[in-house]
Structure 1
Amino acid sequence: MSKSDDAYSRPVAGYPSRRLPVFNVQVRFVARLIEDLERSITRLFAAPSLERIPLDRFKEVWDLPAYQLFCEGSYACGFVCNDYDDFFDLRAANADPRATLNACSFADLRHYLHTLQRAERWADGYSSPILEALASGSLTVVKDRFLSDETLVADSDGSPPVDTQDRALREGHDLLVALRSHRTITVDMQKLDSAASAGVGFDVIMEGMENGGVGFYDGKGISIAMRAIAGKLLWSAVTAEKLAVDVRPVSLTPASDPVLRRAVRLLSMVHELHKAGYQLLRISAGMAPSGNHWRCYVTTADNVAQNGWEIIDEGIALRYSTGDGGRFFGWDDAEGMDARRLAATFLDRFPEMKRKGAGNDWAYAGWFTSMLGAAENGELPIFFADYELKPVRHQMPPAPINVVGSQA
């Protein structure tokens, strides 16, 4: 296809569908155009307020640049559409602007501006519905809501409000917004795969096709459809039934066994490091070949296999064995240190671990907290041994995540 044959390389005649989204930046732009028009009108008529402007002098308004920009901007930003079957009640809006327009959704306000602009054209020089909307305060209510009503916009990142008549699109979009409020979520990949295989989110595509597929020929429409599908899929993966949960007594005193007590102290040190922002530090714990001593490696997430615990390169991991007694990592001065002092010393003596261990991994830190609770009750984590192990999935650590951003 040559560039000249590409439909996207040249303007298209006509108006958009009301099913195509309007972006937040377009909403704010139209609000600013209304604001400019208000100032220009009051200056033109030297009126103390908009409600005092003379409606019979509407022809003087037509040559105002602010009036022309408001009309053209409403069309350009997608507020005048080609597929409304009816019209907004402008008389009701002018009679009681706040009661009528403050209760409107974004789709209703878009319908209002569509009707207002079409009415302005149909007035054919005999009146100006736009001037009447300014005098009644209707346009001021719309402007104020566009500028300050956060319920009208989807997100702060510029994603578009969605027409509430598109049920599946609206539902998926709302689910994604709800998930984003958590910032970080844990996704069960098996359930995500099952949801995708079951066709979750396909109703968004079907809804678009039933509407003539109009939204799928526009970049904004495709973007909002993809977000809606993502919302439905992710929601299916994070709201599934709970995995098995082990509850246990609260540990009120340290273990009487000195071997267990030192092992828990080491795990508590890692927990303290997680609390300090070093959640990319991980452990790999198990039994020595002799079966007599518990071993625990401390390393960073980039040195751990996808099973969540297996060390890739033991040469760059730090090892502790209960056979070492209180000499954590070979330190002769560690015997009297508590978990917090061990954590601070760890950062001082292992600067490379400190650098690579800084970062957030909420899933692993949460798993570690639960594991530590079990260890305080005598159940040390064991991922490897010379005898057969039967790991329980929810008791095993999650896989390491990709690290986003640079590390200090």
Structure 2
Amino acid sequence: MPKITVFHGDITQQRVDVIVNAANRALRGGGGVDGAIHRAGGPAILQDCMDRYPRGLSVGDAGWTTAGRLPAKWVVHTVGPNYLAGQIDQQLLESCYRRSLEVADEIGAQTVAFPLVSAGIYGWPIGDAVDVAFESIWAARTAVASVTLVAFDHEIYERMRAKQGEVTPLRILDGVEQLHERGYEQLRLLPYMSPSGMHWRVEIAEAATTDDSAGYVVYRNENMVLRYSTGSGPEFAGAIVDRSTTPDDVADLILASMPWVQEHVPDRAYADWYARLMQLIRAQDAVPIAFADYYDTRQGWEVGWGSGVFIEAPPPLPR
């Protein structure tokens, strides 16, 4: 699946192979993104639209033209459904992304920038439009390597980052399990909720740099701890971690950020406990919490905030 990047700014400035235009059926320019692309690209785009598609395009379809003065090589025009006019079939919106990527494949594009189709003057509900954009791109069978989703509006940008980061915590947990399988069994983590309860956080450290003799975790060197918060969205260890990122990829990111971690130093009790924890995580489709303000930590770790599903606390650190 393509690697997705979320960008806050002007889509007409994207230096990619293809800029996708959210067009109307006539392909004769209009307002919003459509008007901005035609203004920035110049009259060559409109002329190519008239020459190549004299009858326009159907809703959900896509076609390509020159990019004119834009920094891209081509513009792919796709006709989004007008939600306010009663075109509420989600499959039409999904088709816009699928067909745009198919057209990008036809012309040999590797990098594509999309707006959030139909979310402007066509009134598609923003949350649903964001979900459809990501799910459609992730599901597409395409040779396109990289997709940038561009939001001019800051609120839409934040919603996109939140959607992209939905699976980031689970990918991080998968990455730690992968490292255990590679022989880095002393790699441990501490997951918890922020005091506000708004964000899940996790700290990853090597057992040798950690002390729990006082009944709680203390790090001997704070600079040797790798941290993540859901407030960072999909950004982890200097990279984007989302559905297109494999556990092996995450394991490599952790090692690159923590090059001091020792291989083949056994901690079989912890690795076995962690494997059982991951079974619960996958069954619950939820992240673990070692501590928070609302429950007695003597029950162990809870899998899913407020789920009532617990696993005993991890084995003590080796002395």
Using the size of structure 2 for normalisation, the TM-score is 0.40
Structure number with greater Rg is 1
> Higher relative contact order at CA 8 Å, sep ≥6: structure 1 or structure 2?
2
| Structure whose residues are more often strand by fraction | 2
Give the TM-score taking structure 1 as reference length: 0.32
